Amino acid sequence: MVKKKQQQPIKDLKMIDLNKLYSAPVGFSRIGIDNVIEELIKFKHRMSEIDEAFFLTGGTCLGIIRDGCLIEHDSDLDIGIMNEESLYMIKKKLSKYYDEVEMADYTKGLNKYNGKRLWFKKYFGKWILPIEVMVHYTKNNYVFWNRGMGESFKKKDWNRKGRCVWNKKLFDKFEKVRFAGEYFNVPSPVNEFLATLYGVSWKIPKVYKDWRYHCHNLHQGWW
């Protein structure tokens, strides 16, 4: 019997010098960090009004926990929810507040198991602030989301499919973090959540050319 090789997370992290990559203001600095914070607070209030729960994830969670502020070279706000049905209600109720709405709602074909997510986009002149709402799914003792890797991610035999995976216990309850005078939910314990996603050195600021290279819990294939 041939033993199946265990899948491993990405290890070939490729860090770059931000100053060499960009010659103009990037990320939130183009929009104005105060504008981004204001949009995050507005989103929180709108979610409260329609009684939908959410938590901060990704770079938004990382910046607030590690630095006490949003990461200026980040380019979107990362929002997590645990209920797929809520995604449709959120889209219906909040779309009127934004300049553009985009939804990844795969139901059949090769992308049937690609994770469902929603982008609310707010225009600031020629710049766009996306608020990405991602459904997090549960399987056995894990919470995960599937994602298409895209053409820009060159990894042998990956077939452009990947998933980020956490221990379910991190989502059994949420802790609250205070930011900009408001309280936001984050997975608990949040330090363990961030260490799973960004590695044990998550407290050290780093910049990568692509979000897929900094995810330490990114595995091949979809669930």
Residue 16 pLDDT: 40
Instruction: Kindly report the CATH number assigned to the domain that includes residue 99.
Output: 3.30.460.10
**Domain assignment present for 156:** no
pLDDT at position 106 is 60
Please report, for the chain, how many H helices and E strands are present, in that order.
Answer: 6, 11
Query: What does the pLDDT read at residue 95?
Result: 98
What pLDDT score does 207 carry?
Answer: 77
Q: DSSP assignment, residue 20? A: H
State pLDDT tens for residues 73-88.
899 999 999 999 999 9
Q: Is the dihedral of CA 52, 57, 60, 62 positive or negative?
A: positive
Whether 185 is covered by a domain: the verdict is yes
pLDDT of residue 83: 92
| Residue 87 domain-assigned (yes or no) | yes
Residues 155-185 as b/e (b if ≥16 CB within 10 A, e otherwise) read: eeebeebbbbbbeeebbeebeebebeeeebb
pLDDT digits (tens, 9 = 90+) for 20-55: 443 344 689 889 999 999 999 999 999 999 999 999
How, if at all, do strands 174-179 and 182-187 pair? Answer: antiparallel
Residue 14 lies in a domain: no
Q: What are the DSSP E strand ranges found in 49-190?
A: 55-56, 77-81, 100-104, 117-124, 127-135, 137-139, 142-148, 161-167, 174-179, 182-187
152 falls within a domain: no
Q: What is the pLDDT of residue 2?
A: 46
Q: Is residue 161 part of a domain?
A: no
222 belongs to a structural domain: no
Question: What φ, ψ does residue 12 adopt, rounded to 5°?
Answer: -85, 70
Give the pLDDT score at 170: 98
- Enumerate the β-bridge partners of residue 103: 118
Number of folded domains that form the chain:
1
Model pTM above 0.85 = no
Residue segments in the chain with a per-residue pLDDT below the cut of 70: 1-26, 105-114, 148-160, 209-211
* Residue 210, domain member (yes or no): no
Structural domain range at position 96 = 25-138+167-202
